[in-house]
Amino acid sequence: MTNDEIQRMMEFIIKQQEGFAGNMEKSDARMTRIEGAFVGLFDIVSKTVKVQKGLVESQRELAASQKILAEAIKETDERLNALINTVERYISEGRNGKSQG
pLDDT digit string (tens) for 41-90? 999 999 999 999 999 999 999 999 999 999 999 999 999 999 999 999 99
pLDDT at 93: 81
C-alpha 60/C-alpha 68 separation (Å) is 12
Whether this model's pTM surpasses 0.95: no
pLDDT at 21: 92
Burial 48-79 (b: 16+ CB within 10 A, else e): eeeeeeeeeeeeeeeeeeeeeeeeeeeeeeee
pLDDT at 24: 95
